[in-house]
Amino acid sequence: MRKIFVFLIAVFFCVPARALSVINDTETESVLRKIIMPVALAADIPENRLKIHIVNDDDFNAFVSGGEDVFIYTGLLTRIKNTNALQAVVAHELGHMIGGHMAQMSARMEAELKRTLIIQALGIGLMVAGGNPSLGAGVLAGAGGVAQQSLLSFSRDEERVADEFAVDLMVDANINPTGLITVFEQMQNITGAAEAKTNKNRSNHPLTVERIKNAREKIAQIKRNRKYDAFDDKEYELVRAKLIGYLYNERQILDKYPYRATDDAAIYARAIGNMRGGALTAARDATQNLIQRNKKNPYYYELLGDIEYQMGHYDDAVAAYEHALKLNKKAPQIQTALALVLAERGKPGDNAQAIELCKTSLLATPAPLTYWVLAKLYNDGREYWALAEFYNLNGDTKKARTFAKRAQQKLDKDSPEYIKSGDILEK
């Protein structure tokens, strides 16, 4: 994450502009990682280098940048048919990388980024629950089709080559390549109308029909009866439900997950929708029901913590988050959520525990919200440094500098926060 932020912040100096917002969510990131990792490994991206970014934008879209940063849009995550199709999308994007299409791409992209891009990252749960209402507003405002044109304008030949590499990568990863056909068929439904209006010569993407035909031919060359690894869609369905629960309005949630649907994903989505709509008791009952069904899922306890926090039940929220963290120790967003509740509860020892949680969370993901919580916890000058980091990550250079200067006035010259404030001032 850090690398991207630094890059984009550097870029930001040229231009204040529309934001591409990125969602931080431990559950979504870890499930996507499991799904994508086999394809990434086939493309020679080692596990510790792969970075997955969830872009809060309703377009059916994804792209790879810098060879190891995979950006997937919520509009794709909420609509894509299944795990296999998602693997195919990423394989295709990695195909552009292997095909060397990224070289020209990065120049184009850089130009585009200079014009329009700022990345924000906030915890999805806390963007609703968080103590600062303005935080949520920024994220929910979304990206509004940022840079679509330039970011994704590969040539027709490049698209064909990427599709071919996608089939190879999937087969190498022992993943069924027909996921690619599933994606094309879905694209046909989604973009069919738009494509029909587009002049064929000006279109950068080969018509979907042609891509289906090419992919089918390529897949037909693979040995018949080849066996592939099977992927269970259940975890992915929960992630989809979570995103829909957080990003769609109440009616859209019920369209997708009507009351007659009683599977875990449907209950999860409706519980989140209830929480957002202020129906906290219903949200809590539904979440307790999910926990009864699966006591090992840390994210059900995370949701319970969010709900209890909104109900003003700090002790219950702390207990729920602590339980979630017992089930998943590497959960930076849950650590930040717990820190926020501890900061507000203010019992003896809460402050020190919350600071430690923020530090651990920041080591995994330098998310703005964590700095914002940290700013609430310090009272010795370091709060100004934390605010400087918060505004820095949010692309508000002016405020970042103001707070970095104030931090330096208060702090010892050899303290780490003084030096980090200096780094912000130097940018």
Give least dist CB 218 to Zn ion, A.
15
Give least dist CB 352 to Zn ion, A.
50
Which residue bears the tokens 């963290």? 325
List the interface residues with Zn ion, window 162-221 (CB under 5 A): 162
Cα of first residue to Cα of last residue in the chain, in angstroms, is: 18
Judged by beta carbon, residue 31 or residue 43, the one nearer Zn ion is 43
Give least dist CB 47 to Zn ion, A.
24
- Using CA atoms, how far apart are residues 118 and 335, in angstroms rounded to an integer? 25
Helix (H) or strand (E) holding 73: strand 69-73
Question: Which string of x and - marks every residue 136-165 that binds Zn ion (by CB under 5 A)?
Answer: ------------------x----x--x---
Judged by beta carbon, residue 162 or residue 334, the one nearer Zn ion is 162
Give least dist CB 92 to Zn ion, A.
6
35 phi, psi to nearest 5 deg: -70, -40
Judged by beta carbon, residue 162 or residue 169, the one nearer Zn ion is 162
Q: Interhelix angle for 2-12 vs 102-116, to 10°? A: 60
User: Please, are residues 317 and 309 in contact by the beta-carbon 8 Å criterion?
Assistant: yes
CA-nearest of 331, 327, 265 to 125 is 331
Give least dist CB 161 to Zn ion, A.
9
- Using CA atoms, how far apart are residues 26 and 22, in angstroms rounded to an integer? 13
> 260 in helix, strand or coil?
coil
- Using CA atoms, how far apart are residues 223 and 393, in angstroms rounded to an integer? 50
CA-nearest of 142, 20, 119, 42 to 87 is 42
Helix (H) or strand (E) holding 418: helix 416-426
Judged by beta carbon, residue 187 or residue 327, the one nearer Zn ion is 187
Give least dist CB 30 to Zn ion, A.
26
- Using CA atoms, how far apart are residues 328 and 341, in angstroms rounded to an integer? 18
Judged by beta carbon, residue 62 or residue 275, the one nearer Zn ion is 62
Give least dist CB 78 to Zn ion, A.
20
Judged by beta carbon, residue 206 or residue 332, the one nearer Zn ion is 206
Query: Which residues are registered as beta bridge partners of 71?
Result: 53, 63
> 204 in helix, strand or coil?
coil
Judged by beta carbon, residue 159 or residue 389, the one nearer Zn ion is 159
Judged by beta carbon, residue 80 or residue 386, the one nearer Zn ion is 80
Helix (H) or strand (E) holding 114: helix 102-116
Judged by beta carbon, residue 60 or residue 154, the one nearer Zn ion is 154
Pairing mode, strands 119-123 and 20-24: parallel
Give least dist CB 245 to Zn ion, A.
30
Give least dist CB 212 to Zn ion, A.
14
Helix (H) or strand (E) holding 70: strand 69-73
402 phi, psi to nearest 5 deg: -55, -45
Beta-carbon neighbour count of residue 111 at 10 Å?
Answer: 12
Judged by beta carbon, residue 159 or residue 383, the one nearer Zn ion is 159
Residues binding Zn ion: number (CB under 5 A): 3
Give least dist CB 162 to Zn ion, A.
5
Write the DSSP symbol of residue 22. E
Q: Which residues bind to Zn ion, rule: CB under 5 A?
A: 154, 159, 162
